[in-house]
Structure 1
């Protein structure tokens, strides 16, 4: 019996390796353009912990806090573990299952049952204790590769969960940097706006003196008063804007906003980051790799659905001992066993299998379209960030020219005031353009840094396929 059983197992294993129905997964072409629409500047290459390139201790601390305390990353990690458990359970279906059990049963049969044996007109009654020990083995012979496709789909889903966590890490770290840089830009704007407001206050004092002396009109006085009020309004709105940014930063780093203690420092021009080629994007963004993993899983599901049309063969067997006396349990006369295959062939299912197959194929089409859409979106995000950086840089250059010219005009106004040729009101008027330009430059630098964070996210934040776990 044992030799036959082993031979049956070996034969079944050979048969199970013969056929795997359904399409094999092939990665689709990315169809990336040769270059981005905006010229890709030369610059630093992103690394996994890309924020270190900025050499900012406060940013490094915020990123570390976010990676440690983010609920988003914790949820992503839990999804990985769940997918790993599903994969492990699926792989178990590829192997035989062996169960061992023991039983002790008090047994008495009925003397009145129609199944009670009769000998000499008297019913035979079984009454006593029965002890048994038995091992059972079950294994589905995977002739059509259904179980293999299930494991393939589970592996692809595990890959997708891992890549989802990597994408969440990229998004989180980029969002933390964007919020931090926005807060610093607001601090720069507050300084410029305070200087502008002080200048408007001096202008109003001069205008009020001139008006009281009858040297200017009510219209001149009210115009300066309106400009001072506008500066006061903008300055009063800054705490609200700063609070919103700090609240966002606190949520991203998993701590109360009151616990954030940041020191403001002026923002310089952000360093350039190498964007590379569009064809490299698939190897740089974990969300694109995740989309391909989901397509892989959907493709494997087609094979699972096709296998449902074919016979299912299961090999079962058991071996054990059963005896009414415990002392005679492990003995040849108490031995029992059975072995044999069972086959199930779908004949009529009301169209269920055909509907499942059609649904699986539709899921492949949907996953393929989702990948192509995500690829187009990724290309657009890089192009948008590059265009934003280039456009803002051009405006900064123009504003610096404006600041230089306005600074020269202010020097002339102060010189003429020192010579008694003009009033101090003319000096304050000359201060209007350079101070307003300084505020505009602070806002532009904030926009440049925001675009830098956008580019980091669009390029995948230094992720590489060799280490998608994030």
Structure 2
């Protein structure tokens, strides 16, 4: 009998390896273009996992470290990874036999009125006493159609998707921190330029007021200069609000109160170029695209699980133990008991449930595939947008630099003529208008360039696929 049981196990294991229902996962084609629409620089810095270190800014390094440590978004992503790992472990357990051991001590008495009560000499025979038992049970589902295998495959894919979700969250967080930091520094540059413009407008108003009092100018001239001063005052007054909003955002990203955030301003230079690579490289560079493929993998495995529901399931069960009314005779041959054998379950009528589940699983595959393609298109657009921003801003900066150079020369001429007594000081302040306004515009443009740099970093995956991906942090 024992030999038959072992033979049954061996045959069942062989059958379990014979068939796995459902389609095997195959990664879809990315259908990426040969090049980005915007001209991508072929030379430039290569992004690494801790990409912000390439800028050599200790203040930014500290903010990024604080954000990575304190971010609730990353903490939630890490918890999702642990949950997916636990689900995967529980699913893999279904591939192995399940063994349980139990013991019991039971008091019992049979009924004298039951239809199953034995009768001897017209008198019912009842039994009363205590019964002790020790028993081990074995259960194992034969994975004849690969249902358990597909479950483990889907759980592994979901675990991969959770890990990639955490990586994508890290990329987004670090890029957002850098963008907010650079925006704050750009506002600090703009504040200095704006203050110089406001001071120039104040001097111009003083000159205009003096000329008006002396009858040398009209009310229209005075009010025009007064309006320009008021506009500059309004811009200066609004700047602290804009800076506070950026600081609040940066504080939230780094997990600290805004009142405790202390930053030192430093002028922004032109951002360095970052090599964008080819569109076909995005699959290896962006964790969100890899996550989308992992979700497609999980959905594909669910089709096999749904198909297996149409076929019989076979389960091997058995138990072995001892049962005796006397504890002293418990572990003895006469007290031994066992049972074993296979059980089969075949779905006959499910009211269309299995068919509906299969249709739903296939629809989920179609949805996941469409989601991947949509995410790929969005990724390509994000890179193109960032490259277009950088190229467009660079062209405007070049034009503004020419404006600044020409207006600076005009200002020098006006000051020379003022020193010679050829023009009034009001002419000098008027000549200051264009260079000071251009300085403010350049501060804003540099801020836009650095914001586009952060956008490009995020669009390229933030160095997720780089060689140092295994580094800590």
Q: TM bucket by the smaller chain?
A: over 0.9
Mapped to 2, the partners of 1:99 and 1:118 lie a distance apart of 38
Aligned-partner Cα distance in 2 for 1:57–1:441: 25
Q: Distance in 2 between matches of 1:345 and 1:394?
A: 72
User: 2:80 maps to what in 1?
Assistant: 79
Q: Secondary structure at the match of 1:135?
A: strand
- Distance 1:297-1:366 versus aligned 2 partners, 3 A rule: same
Q: What do the CA deviations read for 1:90-115 (whole angstroms, capped 9, x no partner)?
A: 10011100000000101111111112
Equivalent-residue separation in structure 2 for 1:246 and 1:213 (angstroms): 48
Secondary structure of the equivalent of 2:371? helix
Alpha-carbon deviation of 1:150?
0.5
**1:404-448 deviation digits (Å, cap 9, x = unpaired):** 000000000000000000000000000000000000000000000
1:203 and 1:224 in contact (8 A); partners too: yes
The residue aligned with 1:305 is 306
Q: Deviations over 1:164-185 (max 9, x none)?
A: 0000000000000000000000
CA contact 1:66–1:253 (8 Å) conserved in 2? yes
How far apart are 1:58 and its partner, in Å?
0.6
How far is 1:469 from its partner? 9.4
Structure 1: stretches of 5+ with no match in the other structure: none
For 1:269-311, what per-residue CA distance to the aligned partner results, in whole angstroms no more than 9, with x for missing partners? 0011110000000000000000000000000000000000000
Question: What is the deviation of 1:254?
Answer: 0.4
1:238 Cα offset (Å): 0.4
Q: What's the CA shift for 1:3?
A: 2.8
Could you list the runs of 5+ residues in structure 2 that have no partner in the other structure? 465-469
Whether the aligned pair in 2 keeps the contact of 1:73 and 1:168 (CA below 8 Å) is: yes
- In the aligned structure 1, how far is the partner of 2:292 from the partner of 2:448? 31
Equivalent residue number for residue 431 of structure 2: 430
Runs (4+) of structure 1 moved beyond 3 Å?
Answer: 467-470
Maintained 8 Å contact 1:66/1:173 = yes
Secondary structure at the aligned position of 1:29 is classed as: coil
Partner-residue secondary structure (3-state), 2:44: coil
**How many equivalent residue pairs?**
467
CA contact (8 A) 1:162 1:468 kept: no
SS of match in other structure, 2:337? strand
- After superposing the two structures, state which structure 1 stretch, 35-44 or 205-214, moved more: 35-44
**Contact 1:396–1:444 under 8 Å retained in 2:** yes
> How far 1:81 sits from its partner (Å)?
0.4
| SS, match of residue 186 in structure 1 | helix
Whether the 8 Å CA contact 1:286–1:460 is kept in 2: the answer is yes
Judged with a 3 Å threshold, the aligned counterparts in structure 2 of structure 1 residues 279 and 50 are, in CA distance, closer, same or farther, namely same
Asked if structure 2 preserves the Cα contact closer than 8 Å seen for 1:166 and 1:468, the reply is: no
Give the drift of 1:7: 2.0
1:178-227 Cα distance to aligned partner (Å, 9 max, x none): 00000000000000000000000000000000000000000000000000
Q: How big is the shift at 1:4?
A: 2.6
Pairwise CA distance, 1:468: 11
Structure 2 CA distance for aligned equivalents of residues 123 and 164 of structure 1 = 71
Are 1:247 and 2:248 an aligned pair?
A: yes
Distance 2:122 2:105 in 1: 31
TM-score where L is the length of structure 1: 0.98
Whether the 8 Å CA contact 1:204–1:225 is kept in 2: the answer is yes
Shift of the 302–469 alpha-carbon distance from structure 1 to 2, 3 Å rule, reads farther
The answer on whether the counterparts of 1:163 and 1:468 sit within 8 Å (CA) in structure 2 is no
Q: Distance in 2 between matches of 1:76 and 1:468?
A: 18
Match of 2:467 in 1: none
**1:133, distance to aligned residue in structure 2 (A):** 0.3
Question: Does structure 2 conserve the Cα–Cα contact (< 8 Å) formed by 1:84 and 1:158?
Answer: yes
1:435 and 1:92 map into 2 onto residues whose CA distance is: 71
Over aligned residue pairs, what C-alpha RMSD do you find? 1.0
Partner of 1:23: 23
In the superposition, the TM-score normalised over structure 2's length comes to 0.98
**1:319 touches 1:338 (CA, 8 Å); kept in 2?**
yes
CA distance in structure 1 between the partners assigned to 2:36 and 2:471 by the alignment:
25
Post-superposition offset of 1:327: 0.7
Contact kept in structure 2, 1:76 and 1:165, CA below 8 Å: yes
**Structure 1 residues 468, 97: CA separation in 2 closer, same or farther (over 3 Å shift)?**
farther
Residue by residue, what CA displacement relative to the aligned partner does 1:300-352 show, whole Å, maximum 9, x if unpaired? 00000000000011110000000001111111111100011111111111111
The structural deviation recorded for 1:5 is 2.2
Work out whether residues 163 and 469 of structure 1, in 8 Å CA contact, stay in contact via their aligned partners in 2: no
Residue number in structure 2 paired with 1:335: 336
Q: For structure 1, which segment, 35-44 or 375-384, has the greater mean C-alpha deviation from structure 2 after superposition? A: 35-44
> Cα 1:76–1:468, aligned 2, differ >3 Å: closer, same or farther?
farther
Are residues 288 and 29 of structure 1, via their aligned partners in 2, closer, same or farther at CA, if it must alter by over 3 Å? same
Question: How big is the shift at 1:120?
Answer: 2.1
Q: Is residue 410–residue 430 contact of structure 1 (8 Å, CA) maintained in 2?
A: yes
Does structure 2 conserve the Cα–Cα contact (< 8 Å) formed by 1:284 and 1:459? yes
Query: In structure 2, how many angstroms separate the alpha carbons of the residues matched to 1:331 and 1:14?
Result: 36
| Higher mean C-alpha displacement, 107-116 vs 134-143 | 107-116
Counterpart CA distance in 2 for 1:162 and 1:469 is 14
